[in-house]
Amino acid sequence: MLHAVIRSARDALHFFGEVSPYNLQTLRDHARQSARDAEALHLRFEIARSDRRAFNRYTERWLPSLKQSGVTVEVAVTRDQ
């Protein structure tokens, strides 16, 4: 399971869903657009331990570049429920 929060000084988007390529690409696109529009952006992911491998596979190409662009990124791994 995935809980993502994209937060800027003006607003916040909360997303709950499965760790899937489509969901993570949608979050990537929203984060990139928000980074263009906001001075400071914070992106937080909470994922279940069992989803860690899939999350890493689906984000390995774009998450590091988002961090390098100045977006604060946190990834918290939680116990499976």
Q: Render pLDDT for 46-61 as a digit per residue (tens, 0 to 9).
A: 999 999 999 999 999 9
The pLDDT value given to residue 81: 63
Q: Specify the pairing of strand 41-48 against strand 72-78.
A: parallel
The pLDDT value given to residue 35: 85
Range of the domain at 73: 2-78
The pLDDT value given to residue 55: 97
Q: Specify the pairing of strand 41-48 against strand 12-17.
A: unpaired
Domain count, the chain: 1
pLDDT band for 9, please (50, 70, 90 cuts).
Answer: confident
Percent with pLDDT over 90 in the chain: 78
pTM above threshold 0.85: yes
CA distances from 7 to 37, 44, 45, 48, 74 (A): 12, 8, 12, 21, 12
